[in-house]
Structure 1
Amino acid sequence: MDKQIVKDCWRKSWPTVLAILFFAIVSLAYFYPATFEGRELFRNDVEGASGTAQDVRDYESATGEHSYWTNSLFGGMPMYQISPSYPSTKALQEIQNVGTLRAPLNIMGNYAWLLFAMMVGFFIFMRSLKQDVIVAVLGALFWTFSSYFVILIVAGHIWKLTALCFIPPTIGGMIWLYRGKYLKGFVVTALFTALQIMANHVQMSYYFLFVMVAIAISFFVQAIRQHQLGAYLKSTIGLVLAGVLGVAINLSNLYHTYEYSKETIRGGSELTIKPEGASESSADANKSGLDKEYITQWSYGIGETWTLLVPNLKGGASGYVGMSPELMEKVSDITSDPQSQQILAGMNQYWGDQPFTAGPVYVGAFVLALFIFGCIRVKGPVKWALLAATILSVLLSWGHNFMSLTSWFIDYFPMYNKFRTVSSILVIAEFTIPALAVLGLVEFMKHPKESLKDVRSWGVALGLTFGAGILFYILPTVFFNFVSTQEQEMFNQAMSGNGQLISMIVNDLTALRVSVFRADVLRSLVVILLSIVPLYLYSINKLKPLWTVVLVGAISLIDLYTVDKRYLNDEKFEEPLSVSSKAAPQTEADKLILKDKTPGYRVFNMTVDAFNESTTSRWHNNIGGYHPAKLQRYQDLISFQLARRNMQVLDMLNTKYFIVPSHDGKSQQVVPNPGAFGPAWFVKDIKVVNNANEEMQALDSTHLRETAVVDKRFVSNELSSLKLMTDTTATISLMKYAPNHLEYKSLSKEPGLAVLSEIYYPHGWTATIDGKPADILRVDYVLRALIVPAGEHTIALDFHPKSVKTTELVAKVAFWILLAVMILSIALPLLRKQDEIKRLDEDNEDHTKEDAK
């Protein structure tokens, strides 16, 4: 390569290289010293899912083969949304590892790489908006250190955060496309679409489609005004093709997620009946998606939205007041009464509308002020798209607090009913607010005197932030309620209507919370005041542009950084051994059960919330477990049968052991279940029912060891012709057991229906009898069954979905296309530069010859 090309490339790229180095240093600094000492974070969601699919990991370690089915939770389910792993994405994963400095050397550790990727991604987005490097760095800091993102790390929502890392650069590629940078825009859009989808958090990608649609509409309006519809169409085609390529690379994951989702709680239930004791609201369940009550359980309060300005507006994270020494000092200052102090210590630090929270959504006090300023001063299509997306994000985050809008989206907007925790849509606002804030700052820097004279812009921006803060500080109880109705009712019940005591407790609790609230309001006011100073000095030519941006950025970074440290600090990190022992402790009860090497049995742990934990799955095949997308039929079984401990159903699930509390309640004990049916059995009779309702109700009274309940849709001529089995010596035994392979031996004098204590799933499982294909039937609402001929036979069931091979082929071809276009996007500019230098050299040579003549 020509030396001049190298020099030109370095001259253009060194500021970006320095920015990336800065991002790496900041990321590592946040996790210092834990990263360098090898300490790890004990994350709440990781605890809940630590044991999930342990059988698959053990199987892969022993055989080198990956199973797409696990038996470790809910009796068995596909792996598609537990730990999706497909060969076609391994190369893409390596690209991600290199780009996030985790390969070939793991420079960034287990956590710092997430912050690093967040900053680099937003930096790319800001550069697509034609912003200088220093301004792009500022935007990256604003975005990355918004409190919600570090809280995701604490909660263990790593897939969600990984998807969010790659969404801003995807949008950056889109903007390059609409600004005529076709090849660069195509590559960036396709690459980061592929990376964000690989992160396997469709909800985040779905939410940001709103932003992308808003941007596309804004550019469309601009194209009409400027009579450039041809260029707009060309860009849109490029955008669609890039999106298709990114999707195709992840086709294996997306297709099987789609296929699986139809069978999960997101696909809805066939049942039209309600479980015993169910609330009337459950009758309004959305049969094609999640229940509305479930979707909106985590809804941001309307007043709680002010946490964008004041982090502790609602107290921060959930937790007892008594767990905070700082709060207990405040309690001591407020009251000396021991009873009141004890009651206050047991109250929640968080007093917002959500059931509980790991922390607030805080974007920075002055960042919010700049955003509002930018809403008024900034011009262009991107501004309107960002503003519209912000408003929509906030309104939809209110969930059941603004049910008219939320219901409309759930009922009529495609796929919206597939996702829960509507408050998480505020990630859009966390993207749009810093983006428009930076654009607002740039607008001020370009026209400082004009901006200062624009009283309307600054008046609204400071009025809604600084002015609101002053009012909140002076009149907190006028604007906010510090003791909820539920807490009032709790006090009434606990204190037997003792009005004087209740009044004292309510007053003390209000005083405590107002104290917390005011402290953070004052903090936000100080941040805004400090940030205004460098802008004012710049406007009167007392401060240079670079230092103005640096000072504004430093103040906001300190602001965000210190709030983040409330939730993710060095004290959260522990030694690896401590983390692993906490995640899935092996109890004496577990050890006792593990002595039983019989394959295929299951365990029901009744000492925990069995259907919302997965630590039991670390050691056993679990009747319970936790997963937000469990099979709908199994959820129905939980609601109608397992919740009321129907022993017939527990027996058919081969529940061989129960873990129950000991008599003193301090430990666990094991109760064997001799009535468990075993891994497979022949039934004598068949009970045909008309629909799902009858099938579920039949489980209430049918002797399931003797009779199989079959939906008429599974009744074939062969099944109808089966006679009652009279052979009392017929046996079927499980000989080989792996997550994706089961092998049985059967012996009977007459043909019969064999019920297998395995969860039925209609896609991917195949069965053979003596090597010949056999049909898998569904019986007893959730189990598999086979018609087995008389005699001695070998029965095998395998889970090797043919669809994986097809989707893998498409995904690999798509990846090679992306790789080729990426190489082309790098090579073409270099070749053009080389041709340009060659032409210049030839021109110089011609001039030299002419001069010589």
Structure 2
Amino acid sequence: MSNWFKRNGIHFAIGAIFFVICFLYLTPAFQGKVLGQADVIGARSTTTEIEAYKAKDTTILWTNQIFGGMPAFQLWAPYKANITTHVIHALNTVFPNPIDTLLLFLFGTYFLFIVLKVNPWLSAAGAVAFTFSSYNIILLVAGHSNQAFAIAYFAPLLGSILLALRGKPILGGALTALFLSLEIRANHVQMTYYLMLAILILAGIELYHAIKAKTLNNYLKSLAYLGGGLVIALMVNASILWSTYDYGKDTIRGQSNLTQHTTEPSTGLAKDYAYQWSQGVTECFTFLVPNAYGGGSGTEHLDQNSATAKVFTQMGQPEDRAVGIANQIASGSSQIGLQGLGTYWGNKPGTSGPFYFGAVICFLFVFGLLIVKSRLKWWILATVILTMLLSFGGNWPVVSDLFFNYFPLYNKFRVVESILSVAGLCFPILAFLALKEIIEAPDSKEIFKKLKLSFYIVGGLLLVLIVVPELLLSFRSTEQANSVTNLTQALQNDSRTAQAVSSAIVQDRISLEKADAIRSLIFVVVAFGLLFAFAKKKINATILSVGFLVLVLADMWQVDKRYLKSEDFADKQESVTPQPREVDQFIQRDADPDFKVFDATAPLLYDTHNPFFHKSFGGYSAARLKRYQEIIDNQFTKSVNHDVLDMMNVKYIITADPKTQNVTMQANATACGHAWFIQKVKYAKNADEEMQAISSFNPKEEAIIDQKYKSLINEKDALLDTNATIKLVNYSPDHMTYQSSSSGSQIAVFSEVYYDKGWKMYIDGQEAPYFRADYILRAAQIPLGNHKVEFIFHPASYYTGETISMVGSILLVLSLGFAGYIENKKKTTPPAKAAKA
């Protein structure tokens, strides 16, 4: 055992260094504070009802808290049969977010570099480079926890696959099963999809070399073990994948129901929506110079020496006020249409910060392209080129459109720039393979020539960006002219000042770029100096490796602190829940368990306030139902359809006084209630007719029903009974009980969202058919007499999937145990003695 500790002492030392880095970078988190992440607050608003039932030790898979009601699969579900759920929970219990995520990045990437046979100190430097790639840190600040988790598993998953392809198929296959299970459990399909594209390229290159080297049998054997790992990972996550697949067909990423008067595509997302956050072609200079495009929206602070501030000081404004005005303009405020005058001048609607891979890493990446002999270089180069082309989206759609139109699932994803997270891993891999190459062949004159060539290329580019940056960058936003017009109006038609501000903000953008270009050049010079000293035998390999660890950490740390600062942390209670307004407190006094609130002062699709306190007509979720989206698009874009509010049982409407902006509330006296019997049915031929019919109708008296449900309605038995009643007697989001009483068969409409993949209706304990009415609601024909009517949500995708997950989890544990046994046996079995001649 003592020998084992000695052999692995350096790994323990590096592990300790990782913990120290985490502690220093996330000190407030270790003190119990949390990031006040806007998206985390938004996500928690959607799970208000779910959390209330979790507190009662009750699992619910449906919530009525947002968008009238929706499955909880993409918000929160327990997935208890999935072993990785418990692994993640244990990790999060010991190391709260974002500490756990940062540690996963560091240790997972370190594992990958060790598999690549890079020495431990360089492996640690590589782990720091990928972990602190600016996009990963920005995700933590924004609260995109699932996305960050998914990216954190990129490196160990790739390491496991490479293990299998490099002679350890059993161990590699078992670890692939583990890390792919964790990757899928992170539940960010988009990131997993992007990684799979890179893995397919790797598999193709490996196949080519296997055929060329006549080692196809070994390749196919490795592929078989990896395939086994894939099957196990899919089984472990069966409930997640099945539920997501089932639900996905009915979300905004699924097929459109309408053929007329719709902005929705026939299937997938609208291209403009999917491409909204596309990387600018020349914006890729931020890989090397973080502020090449002005940094993030509102992240860069202009001081009294900035050109924009001087415009106002020269007008006689006090210095502090001039700086304040300058920063208000430079933040790119959308409230008065000044997006084009922000320090960030790219085409995105806004950005929290750039993709910065590191000046040192970019220099070494170019060096790696010239000297690395491993076939991994060609995989990395192909992956980087593809991910860059796809990240351009609408800015250079030639390749993106091919994928969007023809590749399965690709049109389900938005924020296409996020594919650069894959490139963010490829850059440091090639960078440190280059360092590995120079350490293993320090006397090669050819390597030294290529080192100088790399320095001339990267250093020369940086000199251009310092001396004449306008040769490569325009520093002008496409919205600049419109913003100048808006600023002119805001300045009471003072066009001269507006033009002066426009010119000044361009100068400030150039200043920001130049300052960072100088900074990057300094780091590149130091990196070159380290390599030059090693080549001249002034320092050894250990000093070189530790030197690069320190240099990379210093480079990335400085930039990342622009986006994740200590002041971004807050006490836990302060960061989680907004304060209720007076109208919220009044509505909360209503003891009715199931009604909805419509807030005309909040954006329907981005309402993160009301769901904390009420069941909201709006909400915040990128996985909302397509039919609900279509109702919002058609009935609430130009004006508010009060009939739809009534049928959705919107009991309270919140408005604001147009003059004073004081928020007020009024009760909706015409709300239809939880359920009601209608007097007549109007059939529609298709979804278009349904949508048109609900534009103006009396939901209390009539129901608009698709004619495909006509066979479920017996109109001959339906007798009008004005004294008939149906009322909600017991409420749970996934189990609702009603009591009906009538002297004849009646058609009932329920103010609950229709979703046929899991909801079942029972009358007196016997399953009975139900159908859709009024485009989005549930309806059913209830027989005469007194009856107990129940709606129960019990989706097979989840419950049957959990059984498969349990089997997969057992297989995962067995495969890891078997792989460990085989590896241990190899180490303890002495090599066979050579036969005597």
Normalised by the size of structure 1, how large is the TM-score? 0.92
SS of residue paired to 1:804: helix
SS of residue paired to 1:82: coil
CA change 1:832–1:474 in 2 (3 A) is closer
Q: CA deviation digits over 1:597-620, x for unaligned, max 9? A: 112210011222122123211111
Structure 2 residue 736 is the aligned partner of structure 1 residue 742: yes
Alpha-carbon distance, 1:454 to partner: 5.4
Q: Which amino acid aligns with 1:28?
A: F
Tell whether the 8 Å contact from 1:298 to 1:421 is kept in structure 2 after alignment.
yes
2:329 aligned partner: 346
Alpha-carbon distance, 1:628 to partner: 0.7
Structure 2 residue 313 is the aligned partner of structure 1 residue 336: yes
2:44 aligned partner: 50
Pick the structure with more helix per residue: 1
Q: Which moved more, 1:437-446 or 1:774-783?
A: 437-446
Q: Separation in 1 of the partners of 2:776 and 2:705?
A: 10
1:365 aligned partner: 359
1:36 aligned partner: 30
Match of 2:484 among 467, 470, 491: 491
Structure 2 residue 473 is the aligned partner of structure 1 residue 480: yes
Q: CA deviation digits over 1:203-222, x for unaligned, max 9? A: 11100011111111111111
Match of 1:669 among 651, 655, 664: 664
1:615 aligned partner: 609
Alpha-carbon distance, 1:498 to partner: 6.3
Q: Separation in 1 of the partners of 2:177 and 2:593?
A: 46
Match of 2:529 among 525, 528, 533: 533
Alpha-carbon distance, 1:149 to partner: 0.5
Tell whether the 8 Å contact from 2:672 to 2:699 is kept in structure 1 after alignment.
no
2:180 aligned partner: 193
Alpha-carbon distance, 1:495 to partner: 2.6
Tell whether the 8 Å contact from 2:308 to 2:326 is kept in structure 1 after alignment.
no
Q: Which moved more, 1:531-540 or 1:798-807?
A: 798-807
Alpha-carbon distance, 1:445 to partner: 2.0
CA change 1:516–1:834 in 2 (3 A) is closer
Alpha-carbon distance, 1:35 to partner: 2.4
Alpha-carbon distance, 1:442 to partner: 1.3
Alpha-carbon distance, 1:463 to partner: 4.3
Structure 2 residue 386 is the aligned partner of structure 1 residue 386: no
Tell whether the 8 Å contact from 1:320 to 1:345 is kept in structure 2 after alignment.
no
Structure 2 residue 269 is the aligned partner of structure 1 residue 290: yes
Alpha-carbon distance, 1:761 to partner: 0.4
Q: Separation in 1 of the partners of 2:299 and 2:537?
A: 51
Aligned 1:719-734 pairs, distance under 5 A: 719-722=713-716, 725-734=719-728
1:829 aligned partner: 823
Q: Separation in 1 of the partners of 2:392 and 2:120?
A: 36
Tell whether the 8 Å contact from 1:732 to 1:746 is kept in structure 2 after alignment.
yes
Match of 2:63 among 58, 66, 70: 70
2:777 aligned partner: 783
Structure 2 residue 63 is the aligned partner of structure 1 residue 111: no
Q: Separation in 2 of the partners of 1:264 and 1:598?
A: 29
Alpha-carbon distance, 1:552 to partner: 2.0
Q: Which amino acid aligns with 1:748?
A: S
1:83 aligned partner: 76
Q: Which moved more, 1:211-220 or 1:649-658?
A: 211-220
1:132 aligned partner: 119
1:462 aligned partner: 455
Q: Separation in 2 of the partners of 1:543 and 1:454?
A: 15
CA change 1:752–1:436 in 2 (3 A) is same
Alpha-carbon distance, 1:705 to partner: 1.4
SS of residue paired to 1:773: strand
Q: CA deviation digits over 1:791-834, x for unaligned, max 9? A: 11110111122332321111111111111121222233334544
Alpha-carbon distance, 1:457 to partner: 5.9
2:278 aligned partner: 299
SS of residue paired to 1:75: coil
CA change 1:578–1:804 in 2 (3 A) is closer
Structure 2 residue 750 is the aligned partner of structure 1 residue 771: no
Tell whether the 8 Å contact from 1:49 to 1:615 is kept in structure 2 after alignment.
no
1:846 aligned partner: none
Aligned 1:344-743 pairs, distance under 5 A: 345-347=328-330, 348-450=342-444, 455=449, 458-459=452-453, 461-495=454-488, 500-580=496-576, 583-643=577-637, 644-662=639-657, 665=660, 667-716=662-711, 718-722=712-716, 725-743=719-737
Alpha-carbon distance, 1:541 to partner: 0.6
SS of residue paired to 1:603: strand
Tell whether the 8 Å contact from 2:718 to 2:747 is kept in structure 1 after alignment.
no
1:92 aligned partner: 84
Alpha-carbon distance, 1:533 to partner: 1.1
Tell whether the 8 Å contact from 1:315 to 1:350 is kept in structure 2 after alignment.
yes
Tell whether the 8 Å contact from 2:484 to 2:499 is kept in structure 1 after alignment.
no
Aligned 1:789-804 pairs, distance under 5 A: 789-804=783-798
Q: Separation in 1 of the partners of 2:581 and 2:441?
A: 68
Identical-residue share of aligned pairs (%): 32
Q: Separation in 2 of the partners of 1:233 and 1:547?
A: 41
Alpha-carbon distance, 1:241 to partner: 1.1
CA change 1:832–1:514 in 2 (3 A) is closer
Q: CA deviation digits over 1:575-634, x for unaligned, max 9? A: 223213xx3321211110011111221001122212212321111111000111110000
Match of 2:287 among 308, 314, 325: 308
Q: Separation in 2 of the partners of 1:578 and 1:667?
A: 25
Q: Which amino acid aligns with 2:12?
A: V
2:334 aligned partner: none
Q: CA deviation digits over 1:217-272, x for unaligned, max 9? A: 11111111110111111111111110111111010001000000000011121211
Structure 2 residue 754 is the aligned partner of structure 1 residue 760: yes
1:157 aligned partner: 144
CA change 1:505–1:833 in 2 (3 A) is closer
Q: Separation in 2 of the partners of 1:788 and 1:216?
A: 58
Tell whether the 8 Å contact from 1:642 to 1:650 is kept in structure 2 after alignment.
no
Structure 2 residue 134 is the aligned partner of structure 1 residue 147: yes
CA change 1:209–1:814 in 2 (3 A) is same
SS of residue paired to 1:355: coil
CA change 1:629–1:464 in 2 (3 A) is farther
Alpha-carbon distance, 1:10 to partner: 2.8
CA change 1:37–1:7 in 2 (3 A) is closer
Q: Separation in 2 of the partners of 1:523 and 1:60?
A: 50
SS of residue paired to 2:617: coil
The gaps in structure 1 that reach 5 residues or longer are 1-5, 276-281, 844-853
Q: Separation in 2 of the partners of 1:240 and 1:590?
A: 54
Q: Separation in 2 of the partners of 1:375 and 1:578?
A: 49
Tell whether the 8 Å contact from 1:38 to 1:575 is kept in structure 2 after alignment.
yes
SS of residue paired to 2:681: strand
1:220 aligned partner: 207
Q: CA deviation digits over 1:277-300, x for unaligned, max 9? A: xxxxx4xx5312111011000001
Q: Quote the RMSD (CA, aligned, Å).
A: 2.1
SS of residue paired to 1:750: coil
Alpha-carbon distance, 1:320 to partner: 7.7
SS of residue paired to 1:127: helix
Q: CA deviation digits over 1:140-163, x for unaligned, max 9? A: 111101111110000000000111
Q: CA deviation digits over 1:111-146, x for unaligned, max 9? A: 222111101111111122122222211211111011
SS of residue paired to 1:441: helix
Q: Separation in 1 of the partners of 2:233 and 2:817?
A: 16
Q: Separation in 1 of the partners of 2:706 and 2:716?
A: 16
Structure 2 residue 296 is the aligned partner of structure 1 residue 317: yes
SS of residue paired to 1:88: coil
2:253 aligned partner: 266
